[in-house]
Amino acid sequence: MALREIVYVPDEVLRRKARPVTSFGGELQTLIDDMVETMRNAPGVGLAAPQVGVSSRVIVVEFGDEEVPPKLYVVVNPEIQKKSDETLIGTEACLSIPGLAGDVERHLAVTVTGQSRRGQPVKIKASGWLARIFQHEIDHLNGILFTDRAERVWKLEEADPEEVLLD
Task: Render pLDDT for 10-27 as a digit per residue (tens, 0 to 9).
Answer: 999 999 999 999 999 999
Across residues 69-94, what is the average pLDDT? 97
Selection from 60, 77, 61, 79 nearest residue 120 by Cα:
77
Domain assignment present for residue 1? The answer is no
Number of compact structural domains in the chain: 1
Task: Write out pLDDT tens, residues 24-54.
Answer: 999 999 999 999 999 999 999 999 999 999 9
Task: Write out pLDDT tens, residues 88-125.
Answer: 999 999 999 999 999 999 999 999 999 999 999 999 99
Q: Do 24 and 74 contact (CB within 8 A), yes or no? A: no
Q: Does residue 137 have an active-site annotation?
A: yes
Domain span including residue 141: 12-163
Cα torsion at 139, 53, 32, 69 (round to 10°)?
-50
Q: Do 118 and 96 contact (CB within 8 A), yes or no? A: no
Domain assignment present for residue 87? The answer is yes
Q: Do 59 and 78 contact (CB within 8 A), yes or no? A: yes
Residue tagged active-site, from 62, 92, 137, 163:
137
Domain assignment present for residue 2? The answer is no
Selection from 131, 141, 133 nearest residue 111 by Cα:
131
- pLDDT at position 66 is 83
User: How far apart (Å, rounded) are the C-alpha atoms in residues 68 and 80?
Assistant: 23
CATH number for 159: 3.90.45.10
User: How far apart (Å, rounded) are the C-alpha atoms in residues 143 and 127?
Assistant: 23
Domain assignment present for residue 27? The answer is yes
For residue 164, pLDDT over 70 is answered with no
Domain assignment present for residue 20? The answer is yes
Domain assignment present for residue 19? The answer is yes
Domain assignment present for residue 3? The answer is no
Q: What is the pTM of this model?
A: 0.92
Across residues 136-165, what is the average pLDDT? 83
Domain assignment present for residue 93? The answer is yes
